[in-house]
Structure 1
Amino acid sequence: MLIIKFKNHINFRIVILLLVSGMIPFLLTGCAEKELINDPATGSILPAENFKPLTDGQYSAATKYYDSRGYAQQLSLFIKNGVITQANLKEIDKNQADRLNIEGSDLTWENLAVANLGTLYLRLYNELLLSQSPDEIDAVSGATQTSERYIKLSEAILNQATKGDHEPIKIDTLDTYSVISTPDRDGYQGLLQASFNGSTLIALNYDEIITEDGKSKHKSTDPSVNTEFNALFDTITETAINSQSLESPFPANEAAPEKAKFGECLRLLREARAPF
């Protein structure tokens, strides 16, 4: 059997040439020794030894957690006759609102090739439907996080489709969050930055900042501040990574302002890192 997928008019011409030359009838008679497939990237006719057919149906995948902007991504793909025919991406906030329906700066970009979120989605859809391969999708500069999530979700879904597994799945992602506490009586705010690989906390950095004369000062680099704070910050972040816990190690009524601010930052991080 000859399997042909074409990305553009170049590949379509290859199909026409094969028809004119009589190669397809010849192959359909069973005289061909190997199954062939049209390479969507180069147009070459190649052996389909590594080709894994897709099972028809609807498939869906989503991210496990909300990202640093407060959105989780959910992708649905429709496959018919072994070909991806439709894609639908949604970015959903914690109130279950679709990003496309939320007014504000998340819908438009300045000085980008894509003018708005709807245009970005359409570009991503077209690249997947034309190429039939997530490897051929280019991340859009300035909207890389959405682009990269779309690619990863597509890869996960197509892996499911090669097995005919229609069960919705959730995927791990790399995420970095930054949260800041309310100021204490001296004007210092806790600043916590955390990075996750899937469910694993891989990096955590805590410092305290204050704005003076229009500039931000960090306790960790301020020579006028007691250096014991650096040791405290290192200890509490290392403890959180080792325990993989976002719960505060200090009592709720902790009097020390540094420990109280760290506990508040962990609470804010838990809220930002909510599971989808």
Structure 2
Amino acid sequence: MPRSIQRDITCTRCGRDYRIFIAYPGEAPPASGYPVIYVLDANSVFGTMAEAVRVQGRRPDKTGVIPAVIVGIGYRTEEPFDPARHRDFTMPVPESELPQSPDGNAWPEQGGAEAFLAFIEEELKPQIEREFKIDRNRQAIFGHSLGGLFVLHTLFNKPGSFRNYIAGSPSIHWNKRILLEAERRFSSGVEREGLDAGLLIGVGELEANHKARMNENAREMSERLAALESKGLRIAFKEFENEGHVSVLPVLISRAVRFALGSDNGGKR
């Protein structure tokens, strides 16, 4: 892929291994620096995200999308997904609160979201900022499924980490109790202090048949959070016609880049 880098790094604090994918613009950075989108599950979606930004960013006057750095966080595997995502994207809860495994076997290790977020904030972001001129006020994060759950966890617990949050088909049911508790604390804080941030929640229409009430949970959350729009939280919810849990990814990514980098986020872009 043009103008792209791939490297394996180890988290110094936790000792976990990650494969980092980076795509960067050919244009010189603006005075404020490049916007940046951090992408979870990069082994499966980094290429789609990077190409969407590379193509749409050629004509900002037509697309509204400006060039940006894309940072994908993945794993040392040639497969699209790695079991370690369960560890990194979830909060620690009793096993009794987890969904039942389809095959009856134990789930992979869970509960490492705090350590994963610390890795992003304390190690990965500073490394990216040493290599590229980054606008810290124009950072976004994209995650899908359990990655979408992690995006919501980050917004509710460390809302200043990013300017825009994109949660695709978020697995709210996975850590529902603890996530809704965090949502209530977050909402109370925004009511008091305000927040300049955007959240896009996207799901596939066909996911409405998911036994975990995927679409219903996502829609209800977006409706609750919409009450905070007067306090500076921009909310968008999109159900993509005739798309399922996996097929939704390309159209969600196209919408995500416009939300993060263009006029869809309500900011001055």
What TM-score results when the alignment is normalised by the length of structure 2?
0.22
Max Rg structure = 1
- When normalised by structure 1's length, the TM-score is 0.21
